[in-house]
Amino acid sequence: MFVDSFNFHNLGPDDLRWSITVDILVPLGLAGPILFFLLSKLRELAIAHELLRRHAATDTLTDLLNRGAFTREVEEALADARFAEDGMRGTLLVVDADNFKAINDTYGHEQGDAALRLIASSIRAVLRSADLVGRIGGEEFAVYLPGTTLLIAEAVAERLRQAVYAAAFAPEGKPHQLTVSVGGAVYDRHLPFAELFRLADQQLYAAKQNGRNCIAVTSIAHYETLPAAAA
């Protein structure tokens, strides 16, 4: 018999219990599993999206940020720093493995990849959680140190250099000394990423010219006019 559940005053006790079961308890019983299923699917989609985002931003060899992701994150940090309580201050370091071609030529690209992974882990080991590090190409890495002075930047660059120098690398059981040169630029006013990178790269070139396995860090505060790009 059809039960008009919206006219409760016409229902007897048995019909009323049946109406409550059909109209309230059954939907509630079905809603739980359906809601759980939908939430599970949403969680799976969110996890898949995050994995894709990380994969797109990660250098697969070293597990560091790739060049595009590093550049974007530093540009965002530079924009946010305008409103930071400690003011506009930070450092960009550019790190290059010395004589890296000799590793590939002597031991092969597989050992070259192992050296890059070791350098990457050595760099990451001396950084803070707030710092950014990426592999920006070949044997070149970059590090962003927010809120740092020239003194702190030089100390971090030197610790980084020493960490790589102390790393044990022995391809085919033959010890091979790894070294890096580090160039850096410290800023205390807004500077576009491209300009900051250019200054840090100039300092890297100076470190290479000074014999490699050393650091060269400058501050834009030392310049009334920033040095021009090399011709």
Question: Active-site residue 110, yes or no?
Answer: no
Q: 75 exposed, middle or buried (CB, 10 Å; 0-12, 13-18, 19+)?
A: middle
Active-site residue among 44, 76, 139, 158?
Answer: 139
Question: Scanning the structure block, which residue is given the tokens 């003194």?
Answer: 151
Judge whether 145 and 93 are in contact, CB under 8 Å.
Answer: yes
Angle between helix 150-166 and helix 109-125 axes, rounded to 10 deg? 140
CA distance linking residue 185 with residue 189, whole number of Å = 12
Q: Which helix (H) or strand (E) holds 186?
A: strand 180-187
Question: Scanning the structure block, which residue is given the tokens 């660059």?
Answer: 157
Q: In what order do the strands lie in the sheet with 180-187?
A: 132-137, 140-146, 90-97, 180-187, 215-219
CA distance linking residue 154 with residue 195, whole number of Å = 20
Q: Write out the catalytic residue numbers.
A: 139
